C-alpha cells in the first residue's frame, strides 16, 4: 500500500476497552494490553507503507525480539485509552519502537519494543527491502524509565509445565505469536498477583521461534522481587519473561 496521505511520524490512536479484554476484576489483561500496543504499532506501519502486506511482497515481516513494559496503572472496562507510538531507531534489519498509553491525559504505561525484519520463507533476519526514510526518528524520546536488559535464566529453575504448540497458538507469520508466550507463563502465576496488579513491569526476550506441534517446557525461577520464566525446546532456550513486582 502507498504511504497514507495523513501519515505522521508519531501516531496517536484511541481504543475503548471492551469486556472480552478484561480480567474478572474488570481491568485490562496484560496479554490484551500487549495486543493493543502491537495493533497500534501495526497501524503506524500500515500508514507508513511498511506493513505486513507491504513486506510480504518481499517475503518479509516484522517480528518482535524484545519488549519491556512499565505499568503505573491498568485501564478497565469501558475506559477509552490513547496509545502513542514512534520509532526510536530504524536501520537495516532492526528497529526500536516506543509506545505509551494514556488514560484521561495521564500516562499509565510505557513500552519499548525491539523488532527485526524476518524473511518468512528463509526463516532468518535480513535488511528491510522497503523505503523508510520518510519516518522521522526520535532516538532521545524514550517511553520507559529503563531500557531492555538480557534476562538472566538461572540453572536452578524449576520445571513447571509441558506443552504442545497448537494451531491456535500460531499467527500470520506461521509461528507462535509473541503474546501466547506471555499467556502461557501468566497462567502459572498465583492469581492474586495478577488480580491485585502487583506487577510493576515485565520484560520479554524472544530467542527462537516455535512452530506447530513443537514440544516445549516452561520453567520458573522465583526471587523476592521478581519471577523469571523460560521456555525451552529440546533443552534450548526459546523465550524468557521477567515479571518485576511492586
* 147 CB-side CA count, 13 A: 8
The CATH number of residue 184's host domain is: 3.10.129.10
Q: How far apart are CA 246 and CA 152, in angstroms?
A: 20
Determine contact, residues 109/72, Cβ cutoff 8 Å.
yes
Residue 179 CB: number of other CB atoms within 10 A? 22
Residues 197 and 184 in one domain: yes
Residues 116 and 216 in one domain: no
Q: Which domain holds residue 235?
A: 151-246
Determine contact, residues 117/62, Cβ cutoff 8 Å.
yes
Query: Exposure of 138 by Cβ count < 10 A (0-12 exposed, 13-18 middle, 19+ buried)?
Result: middle
Query: Exposure of 156 by Cβ count < 10 A (0-12 exposed, 13-18 middle, 19+ buried)?
Result: exposed
Residues 99 and 217 in one domain: no
> Which one of 127, 148, 169 terminates a domain?
148
Residues 19 and 121 in one domain: yes
Residues 141 and 212 in one domain: no
User: Who contacts 199 (Cβ-Cβ below 8 Å, separation ≥6)?
Assistant: 30, 71, 193, 243, 244, 245, 246
Residues 102 and 218 in one domain: no
> Angle CA(214)–CA(220)–CA(221) in degrees, nearest 5?
150
User: pLDDT means per 10 residues in the chain (246 residues)?
Assistant: 89 98 98 97 95 94 96 98 98 95 98 96 94 95 94 89 97 96 96 96 97 97 88 96 95
> Which one of 148, 176, 210 terminates a domain?
148
Residues 64 and 156 in one domain: no
C-alpha torsion 48→34→176→153, nearest 10: 120
Nearest to 60 by CA among 9, 115, 98, 137: 115
Number of domains in the chain: 2
Cell of 140: 532521545
> Angle CA(183)–CA(216)–CA(245) in degrees, nearest 5?
40
Residues 219 and 141 in one domain: no
Residues 196 and 232 in one domain: yes
Residues in the chain: 246
Determine contact, residues 42/100, Cβ cutoff 8 Å.
no
> Which one of 124, 148, 172 terminates a domain?
148
Residues 175 and 53 in one domain: no
What is the reported pTM?
Answer: 0.95
Residues 241 and 162 in one domain: yes
pLDDT of residue 1: 65
Residues 114 and 172 in one domain: no
Cell of 18: 471492551
Amino acid at each position: 500500500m502507498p504511504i497514507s496521505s495523513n501519515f505522521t511520524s508519531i501516531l496517536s490512536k484511541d481504543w475503548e476497552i471492551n469486556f472480552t479484554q478484561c480480567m474478572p476484576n474488570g481491568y485490562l489483561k496484560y496479554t490484551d494490553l500487549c495486543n493493543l500496543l502491537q495493533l497500534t504499532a501495526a497501524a503506524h506501519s500500515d500508514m507508513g507503507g511498511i506493513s505486513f502486506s507491504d513486506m510480504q511482497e518481499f517475503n518479509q515481516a516484522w517480528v518482535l525480539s524484545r519488549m519491556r513494559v512499565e505499568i503505573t496503572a491498568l485501564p478497565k472496562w469501558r475506559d477509552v485509552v490513547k496509545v502513542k507510538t514512534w520509532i526510536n531507531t530504524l536501520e537495516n534489519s532492526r528497529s526500536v519502537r516506543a509506545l505509551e498509553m494514556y488514560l484521561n491525559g495521564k500516562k499509565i504505561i510505557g513500552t519499548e519494543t525491539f523488532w527485526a525484519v524476518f524473511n518468512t520463507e528463509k526463516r532468518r533476519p535480513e535488511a528491510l527491502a522497503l523505503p523508510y526514510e520518510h519516518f522521522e526518528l526520535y532516538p532521545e524520546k524514550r517511553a520507559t524509565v529503563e531500557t531492555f536488559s538480557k534476562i538472566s535464566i538461572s540453572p536452578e529453575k524449576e520445571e513447571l509445565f509441558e506443552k504442545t504448540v497448537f494451531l491456535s497458538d500460531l499467527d500470520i507469520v506461521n509461528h507462535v505469536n509473541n503474546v501466547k508466550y506471555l499467556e502461557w507463563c501468566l497462567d502459572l502465576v498465583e492469581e492474586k498477583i495478577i488480580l491485585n496488579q502487583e506487577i510493576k513491569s515485565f520484560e520479554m526476550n524472544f530467542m527462537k521461534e516455535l512452530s506447530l506441534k513443537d514440544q516445549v517446557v516452561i520453567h520458573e525461577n522465583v526471587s523476592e522481587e521478581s519471577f523469571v520464566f523460560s521456555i525451552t525446546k529440546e533443552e534450548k532456550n526459546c523465550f524468557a519473561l521477567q515479571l518485576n513486582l511492586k
